[in-house]
Structure 1
Amino acid sequence: MKIIVPMAGMGKRMRPHTLTVPKPLIPIAGKPIVQRLVEDIAKVCGEPVEEVAFIIGHFGQEVEKQLLKIAESVGAKGSIYYQEKALGTAHAILCATPSLSGNLVVAFADTLFKADFTLAGKKDNTIWVQRVEDPRPFGVVKLNAQNQITDFVEKPETFVSDLAIIGIYYFNDGEYLRQELQYLLDNDVMEKGEYQLTNALENMKQKGMVFVPGQVTEWLDCGNKDSTVFTNQRYLEYIKDTKLVADSASVVNSVIIPPVFIGENVKIENSVVGPHVSIGNGTHVTNSVVRNTIVQEHSKIKNANVANSMLGNHAGFEGRSLDLSVGDYNHITQ
């Protein structure tokens, strides 16, 4: 089994946090989004993961090293490919052409999930979907009476289905997928100015390939600040029975309301932290109340009441109660 992870997007909806860090490396409950995604897929594969291929922009050597370590953590070879221009989902996947073979999972790195299925021995090509109230921002599918997918529609302006594609796909023939993606580029088949994976899927279906919908227990989006904070909350609930507080953390005259992740060398003094808070390595929290919040590494919170917020790396906040989204190296004093 192979895992293909397109993650070259600029993450505009997550700014300012993506100005210095690629969105898939923003931490959820102490681990980067993309690491959570790869680990969760590896758990449901039911067989060894041979390779994890990441399609990225030019994020730098440190990011690439981190991605290769994520692949190694699930016992797989790591591969790095580059998408030089944002030309759509089909183009992004095709950038990993040498890795498109055999059984594979394609998973876009801005979504996480919880599920109880196993992919081992699976014969049907599967597209995971979830019902949504507003399907317009998503690709959607329509089903027939046999629970097979009959239509793929990319970001419908009028209602055709509320079954949104969540960005996770299983293909039992990676070579065939590669051929259909290449067909789009060779024949300049574009939709809304991009090469769309849904067009390749439609062509494959027209040629007789059967696709079935997959169901997840929960779909967790990481598209913007509020959804990412909520995803952090849900993940902390999932892993609350594991060790979440580092031995090197110092908690003095403070109350910790679990579930809370506290990283290495964190200092918490005269504060109330939790529930649903993740605090990265080296961060200091003093005389504050912090709830339902992600704080990254080496940041400082003082004399503050913070909820439903994200603070980046080396950030600082001192002052009153606020709903915050503070990027790296920004300091706010009230």
Structure 2
Amino acid sequence: MRIIVPMAGMGKRMRPHTLTVPKPLIPIAGKPIVQRLVEDIAKVCQEPIEEVAFIIGNFGEEVEARLLKIAESVGAKGSIHYQDEPLGTAHAILCAKDALRGNVVVAFADTLFKADFTLDTSAEGTIWVQKVEDPRPFGVVKLNEQGQITEFVEKPQDFVSDLAIIGIYYFKDGEYLRDELQYLLDHDIKDKGEYQLTNALENMKSKGSVFIPGPISEWLDCGNKDATVFTNQRYLEYIQDEEGLVSKSAKITNSVVIPPVYIGENVVLHNSVVGPHVSIGNNTQVNGSVVSNSIVQENSKINHAHIANSMLGNFVVYEGIPTDLSLGDYNVLRG
């Protein structure tokens, strides 16, 4: 099994948090979004993960090294591939054409999921979907009475279906997918100005491929600050019984910790209340403060503050009044 992870986008909706790191490396409950994604896919696969192929922009050597370690964490080889310009989902996947072999899962790195099933690798293709209230921003599928996918439609402005494609796909034949993606580029077949994966899926279906929907219990978006904070909340609830969520090296004095929380290495909490639903990165200090439902990254300092529903980046210094925050790396803010 190979996992293909397109993640070359700039993550503009997540600024300022994506000014120094790509969005998929923002932490959720102590681990980067993309690591959570890869680990969750590995859990539902019946066979070992041979390779994780990351499709990125010009993110730098440090980011690439972190991605290769994420692949190693699931026992796989990591590979790096580049998408130099945003030409659509089909083009992005094809940037990792060398990894499109055998059983393949394609997972776009801006979404997480929870699922209680084991992937059926005997199926020709599985498209993971979730019912949504407004399907217009998404690709959607239509089903027949046998539960098979009969139609793929990209961002329909008129109602077609409310089953949105969440961005995770399984293909039994990676080479076949590669050839269909290449066909779109060779013949300049675009939809809404881009090469779309849904066009390749429609072509494959018209040639006899049978695709089925993949059941998930929850779709967790990481598209903006509020959505990411909520995803952190839900993830902490899922994993709250795991050991090691509060590091043994954390120094907690005269403070109250309300689970579920994640507290990283060498965190200092003093005269504070932290939780519920808070993730605090390594080497961060919280003094005389109340922090709830928030993500605070590494090497930051919070003094005499009351924050909720917030994201603070790395190397932030915040001293102030109660507020809803979204502070990027290296900010200093005093009330």
Q: TM-score, normalised by structure 1?
A: 0.99
The answer for the alignment partner of 2:146 in structure 1 is 146
3-state SS of 1:170 partner: strand
The answer for the alignment partner of 2:290 in structure 1 is 289
The answer for the alignment partner of 2:18 in structure 1 is 18
The answer for the alignment partner of 2:60 in structure 1 is 60
The answer for the alignment partner of 2:318 in structure 1 is 317
The share of aligned pairs that are identical, in percent, is 77
Q: Residue type of the partner of 1:65?
A: A
Q: Residue type of the partner of 2:254?
A: N
**Is residue 215 from structure 1 mapped to residue 215 from structure 2 by the alignment?**
yes
Give the whole-Å Cα distance in 1 for the aligned partners of 2:207 and 2:252: 62
3-state SS of 2:205 partner: helix
The answer for the alignment partner of 1:327 in structure 2 is 328
The answer for the alignment partner of 1:280 in structure 2 is 281
**Is residue 39 from structure 1 mapped to residue 39 from structure 2 by the alignment?**
yes
Give the whole-Å Cα distance in 2 for the aligned partners of 1:231 and 1:55: 23
1:275-333 deviation line (CA, Å, top 9, x unaligned): 00000001111111000000000011111110000000011211111111000011111
Displacement of 1:193: 1.4
1:158-185 deviation line (CA, Å, top 9, x unaligned): 2111100000000000000000000110
The answer for the alignment partner of 1:156 in structure 2 is 156
Over aligned residue pairs, what C-alpha RMSD do you find? 0.8
Give the whole-Å Cα distance in 1 for the aligned partners of 2:320 and 2:193: 46
Following TM superposition, the consecutive aligned residue runs of length 4 or more in structure 1 with deviations greater than 6 angstroms are none
Give the whole-Å Cα distance in 2 for the aligned partners of 1:217 and 1:56: 29
Give the whole-Å Cα distance in 1 for the aligned partners of 2:314 and 2:26: 10
Give the whole-Å Cα distance in 1 for the aligned partners of 2:123 and 2:98: 23
Give the whole-Å Cα distance in 2 for the aligned partners of 1:121 and 1:221: 26
1:208-252 deviation line (CA, Å, top 9, x unaligned): 111111110111111111111011011111111112111111111
**Is residue 255 from structure 1 mapped to residue 256 from structure 2 by the alignment?**
yes
Please tell me whether the aligned partners of residues 127 and 168 of structure 1 are also in contact (alpha carbons under 8 angstroms). yes
Give the whole-Å Cα distance in 2 for the aligned partners of 1:47 and 1:16: 39
The answer for the alignment partner of 1:177 in structure 2 is 177
**Is residue 114 from structure 1 mapped to residue 132 from structure 2 by the alignment?**
no
Give the whole-Å Cα distance in 1 for the aligned partners of 2:12 and 2:121: 38
Q: TM-score, normalised by structure 2?
A: 0.98
Give the whole-Å Cα distance in 2 for the aligned partners of 1:97 and 1:168: 17
The answer for the alignment partner of 2:90 in structure 1 is 90
The answer for the alignment partner of 2:128 in structure 1 is 128
Give the whole-Å Cα distance in 2 for the aligned partners of 1:232 and 1:92: 27
Give the whole-Å Cα distance in 2 for the aligned partners of 1:187 and 1:267: 58
Please tell me whether the aligned partners of residues 103 and 121 of structure 2 are also in contact (alpha carbons under 8 angstroms). no
Give the whole-Å Cα distance in 1 for the aligned partners of 2:189 and 2:302: 51
**Is residue 30 from structure 1 mapped to residue 30 from structure 2 by the alignment?**
yes
The answer for the alignment partner of 2:228 in structure 1 is 228
Q: Residue type of the partner of 2:323?
A: L
Instruction: Say which is worse superposed, 290-299 or 118-127, in terms of deviation.
Output: 118-127
Q: Following superposition of structure 1 onto structure 2, how do residues 292-307 of structure 1 map, counting pairs within 5 Å?
A: 292-307=293-308
Please tell me whether the aligned partners of residues 28 and 235 of structure 2 are also in contact (alpha carbons under 8 angstroms). yes
Q: Residue type of the partner of 1:247?
A: K
The answer for the alignment partner of 2:77 in structure 1 is 77
Please tell me whether the aligned partners of residues 47 and 120 of structure 1 are also in contact (alpha carbons under 8 angstroms). no
Q: What residue ranges of structure 1 are gaps of 5+ in the alignment?
A: none
Displacement of 1:120: 5.2
Give the whole-Å Cα distance in 1 for the aligned partners of 2:108 and 2:288: 40
